[in-house]
Amino acid sequence: MRRRQQPPLPKRYGLDPARLRLPEDGDWPTVRDHLVHRLPRVAPARIDEMLRAGEIVDLDGPLTPDAPYVPGGAIWFHRDLPDEKPVPFDIPIVYRDNTILVADKPHFLATIPRGRHILQTALVRLRRELDLPDLVPAHRLDRATAGLVLFVIDPGLRGAYQMLFQRQRVRKQYEAVAGYRAELDFPVDLESRIIKEKHVLAAQQVPGPPNARTRIELVERRGDRARYRLRPETGRTHQLRLHMNSLGIPILGDDFYPTITDKPIEDFTRPLQLLAAELEFTDPVTGELRRFDTGRTLQAWHSPDSWAAEPATGH
């Protein structure tokens, strides 16, 4: 197995520098010319500023503004960060040893950096708060979903834990609050084919061989509202949200299904009432059975009045 090349720049804010490979067939006179072409969203003046400050480097050190283009070479730099409003909720640690860490992620916090969410992600915040620069997630939760996320502390063991999820060897249990329909007979076992196209917000169910399977159980009912237990056998994007919506009982607070709601990104009220409540697996390193439970609850069930009208509290 090839070892990953060590970046010549240190992490910043818990983030590795970006690495760009210079195409073999490139004929730009300078690295600067290539970057202006390759990064159209970055102003040429900003590229010039970074070069003058020595913020763009190769393996030999900082590049000058007139550094020649070297086909097949590689350069590193830290991307400018988006302006992010802090997500005002803590990330409790459920368990930690020298190998793994289980965090109880709040609603509205993405698991990993992506798009407009960089510093305000569970991974970056935990790396910085706990001084764990090599921390990586073994799986992901949607930004809208709260609950348990397994992270790997030891870089040499990340593959073993990530493979548990890829091979569907983790028992995951979720809780959700949604409407109640008397004609539905629970438990319900659903399977469908789900696809998620790049740059399209919502996933969709399409004809074809199933790739998503979920068992849905009714736990208790209060009038026209009910609490459900969801047991996914697979991990497709938005799988639980789509399957609940397909039954005519979309999860409360869902801004994507059945229709996309234009909700401001900094609005932390009325969170999706979906919670990753339990994780259970046989540890690939120690061989012991591990089980973790969330400390969070769903507002729409435990504090229904406040959930309906007041800002989210992180639980």
Q: Catalytic positions, please?
A: 142
> Cα–Cα distance between 173 and 298 in angstroms, integer?
14
**Is residue 127 a contact partner of residue 10, using CB atoms and an 8 Å limit?**
no
Q: Which H or E element spans position 229?
A: strand 225-232
**Is residue 106 a contact partner of residue 89, using CB atoms and an 8 Å limit?**
yes
237: exposed, middle or buried (Cβ count in 10 Å: 0-12, 13-18, 19+) = middle
Beta bridge partners of 177: 227
Q: Is the dihedral of CA 118, 121, 122, 128 positive or negative?
A: positive
> Cα–Cα distance between 72 and 85 in angstroms, integer?
39
Give the list of residues 6+ apart from residue 136 with CB closer than 8 angstroms, or none: 123, 151, 152, 155, 158
Which SS3 state, helix, strand or coil, does residue 148 take?
strand
Closest CA to 120 of 79, 80, 85, 78: 85
Q: Give the DSSP letter of residue 281.
A: E
Tokens at 94, concatenated: 């459920």
Which SS3 state, helix, strand or coil, does residue 279 take?
strand
